[in-house]
Amino acid sequence: MRISVSSLLALFALTSTAFAEGSPNRKFTTSSIDLKRKLEPSPPVTHNVYLTFKYYSPVLEREVEQDVTVNLYATVVPKTVENFIQLSRNVKAKIQGRGEEVFTIGYPNSDILNIALNNMILFGDVVPDVGPFSIHGPKWADENFFLNHDRPGRLSMYNTGPNTQNSKFMIDLGLEGNSERDNANVVFGQIVDGLEKIIDDMQYMEVDDKGKPSKKAIIEYATVEDQKHGNLENDHATYIKRLQDFRDGKVEVGTSMGDILKEKINAAKQGSTKTKKLSSKSNLTGDDKNNLFYLLGAIGIIYLAVAKVKKLPPFKNSKVVSMRRD
């Protein structure tokens, strides 16, 4: 199915408006994002990470699962991206003082830690009862500050000062970015799908006086997908050239939130390769559904007629013992 860019942006606006209308007193919503404001070009995407957040929605007033798609930029911050990828996939590790037991450590099933309105959501304390953790050690040096916090949906590393980052990361909520984090927190990714659910709903979860969610809120799933490039080195060189042109004043080579949201098209195409969940939505057309409805009705009538003559046993619910999905 083809999706036009204009239809995509209209859908984004409609979804944002629907959430905003269903959420009185929500001051910061995606309907206020300037989709045309020119931003620095994005680096080559080396990985997609699909995250599923599970939390109590203040808009829908029930527990929900919300999916987001994240682009990662390993040509700019390879060490930071590798840490995020490995923890998304889970790692095996021994913990000092816990003997020879091997623990599974990662982002899946880890808590959402803190929310600051129009600022950030904090994630990623993977061993809260032990202390800081990463694949590079309990703390490690800031890789670089090449990418800016100039747009909502940025992923960047949390720290308590220079060179103290570990597994914790943030999603920026600021509708115009959070420039105060430039040269302080390492940017390594960007949300390209699901941003409206985070800004319009998730950030308004009920929290305590310290910003911690009052109800259970977690990263439920994390799935990593590598992106293929014909020549990644050339792609990165092209990006650097465009970035320099942009910084020299050629803003037309830049991107925008409208451009970034076009990534939804790619995410939709790639969504069928995700193995963590299977969609329950039908691909039947309206005519197909009507025909199926009539067919099932006819089968039911025939069955009842035959059962009356031959006394067939009634239908029983089957209990599926196992199922394989290839």
Q: How many CB atoms lie within 10 A of CB 295?
A: 10
Other C-beta atoms closer than 10 Å to the C-beta of 9 total 16
Give Cβ neighbours of residue 110 (< 8 Å, ≥ 6 apart). 123, 124, 125, 126, 218, 219
Mean pLDDT of 40-65: 96
Calpha distance 180→293 (Å, rounded): 58
Highest mean pLDDT among 147-156, 263-272, 279-288: 147-156
Phi and psi dihedrals of 295, rounded to 5? -65, -45
Cβ count near 315 (within 10 Å): 9
* Mean pLDDT of the 252-271 span: 73
Residue 263's pLDDT is 57
Query: Which homologous superfamily is 5-273 in?
Result: Cyclophilin-like (2.40.100.10)
Helix (H) or strand (E) holding 103: strand 102-105
Task: Indicate whether 286 pLDDT > 90.
Answer: no
pLDDT at 19 over 90: no
**In the prediction, which pLDDT does 21 show?**
46
Residue 25: band (very low, low, confident or very high) from pLDDT cuts 50, 70, 90: low
Q: Over pLDDT 70: what percentage of the chain?
A: 73
Cα separation, 135 vs 83, in Å, equals: 6
Q: In one letter, which amino acid is 178?
A: N
Give yes or no for a contact between 157 and 120, defined as CB atoms under 8 angstroms apart: no
pLDDT over 70 (residue 90) = yes
User: pLDDT grade, residue 262 (50/70/90)?
Assistant: confident
Name which of 216-220, 249-253, 272-276 the model is least confident about. 272-276
